[in-house]
């Protein structure tokens, strides 16, 4: 099974700033997914990160707010831009694994 | 649009009880269904994956069943233990593209 790591594990940021979250997988994968989990809520898919092409965003999420990079088959970054307190969430990356998904440990973001 | 609901939202049981968690989905045309466990402030751990041609999966004290025609899945936990305390999430892949849609979760507490 894949080992997925994320950096940072948590951060406290001021409104108006940006934070870049890194996701590293120990094997090559075609697709990587970024999810958001707001406090007390379930997970919502933000976008699919594809190597060599633009990320595909879900309804309600835009590239200007959540730019994504995918420079190779083992790494991706998600930036949360111009943050507001509503962006306080856990951000998780995931990869396909055996028909299902495997998840990283998440990044807990608090915006003050 | 696919919606995934989990009942109950929260459950508290004494140690040793057998219990059933329910997951329902509005569109029965799904590919795979996956059950996860999430400990507070942590990422997701995959428990069981039921692929489209399967009706159930078992792992240790856990058994998950899937009835696509009725839009339901159940997770059965036998002889519950305090270590089972966590939030349990079900997720469905409706397009075969790994874009899983998550349920609302059941928060389980097993009392010693």
For β-strands A75-80 and A4-7, DSSP reports them as unpaired
Token couple for B67: 């009835």
pLDDT at res. B73: 97
Residue B69 scores a pLDDT above 80: yes
Q: Is A2 touching B (CB cutoff 8 A)?
A: no
- CB-nearest partner of A101 from B34, B42, B105: B34
Mark yes or no for CB contact B100/A45 under 8 Å: yes
Name every chain B residue with its beta carbon within 8 A of the beta carbon of A55.
Answer: none
Name every chain B residue with its beta carbon within 8 A of the beta carbon of A97.
Answer: 46
Residue B53 scores a pLDDT above 90: no
Mark yes or no for CB contact A108/B41 under 8 Å: yes
The secondary structure element, H or E, covering residue B25 is: strand B19-25
Interface probe for B, chosen from A5, A46, A101 (most Cβ of B below 10 Å), is: A101
Phi, psi of A61 (to 5 degrees): -125, 140
Mark yes or no for CB contact B104/A99 under 8 Å: no
pLDDT at res. A51: 86
Instruction: Walk across the sheet containing B62-67 and list its strands.
Output: B4-7, B19-25, B72-77, B62-67, B56-59
Mark yes or no for CB contact B100/A42 under 8 Å: no
pLDDT at res. A53: 84
pLDDT block averages, 10 residues each, chain A of length 112 = 93 98 96 94 94 91 97 96 97 93 96 98
């Amino acid at each position: 099974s894949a080992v997925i790591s994320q950096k940072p594990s948590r951060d406290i940021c001021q409104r108006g700033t940006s934070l870049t979250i890194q996701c590293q997988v120990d094997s090559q994968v075609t697709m990587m997914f970024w999810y958001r989990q707001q406090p007390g809520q379930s997970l919502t898919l933000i976008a699919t990160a594809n190597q060599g092409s633009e990320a595909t965003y879900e309804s309600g999420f835009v590239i200007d707010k959540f730019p994504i990079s995918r420079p190779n088959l083992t790494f991706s970054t998600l930036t949360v831009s111009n943050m507001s307190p509503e962006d306080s969430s856990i951000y998780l990356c995931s990869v396909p694994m055996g028909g299902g998904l495997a998840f990283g440990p998440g990044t807990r973001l608090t915006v003050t | 649009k696919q919606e995934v609901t989990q009942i109950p939202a929260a459950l508290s049981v004494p140690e040793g009880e057998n219990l059933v968690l329910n997951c329902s989905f509005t569109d029965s045309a799904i590919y795979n269904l996956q059950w996860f466990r999430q400990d507070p402030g942590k990422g997701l751990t995959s428990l069981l994956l039921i692929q489209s041609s399967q009706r159930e999966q078992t792992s240790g004290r856990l058994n998950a069943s899937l009835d696509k025609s009725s839009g339901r899945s159940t997770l059965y936990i036998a002889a519950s233990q305090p270590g089972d305390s966590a939030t349990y999430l079900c997720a469905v892949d409706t397009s075969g593209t790994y874009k899983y849609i998550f349920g609302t979760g059941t928060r389980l507490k097993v009392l010693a």
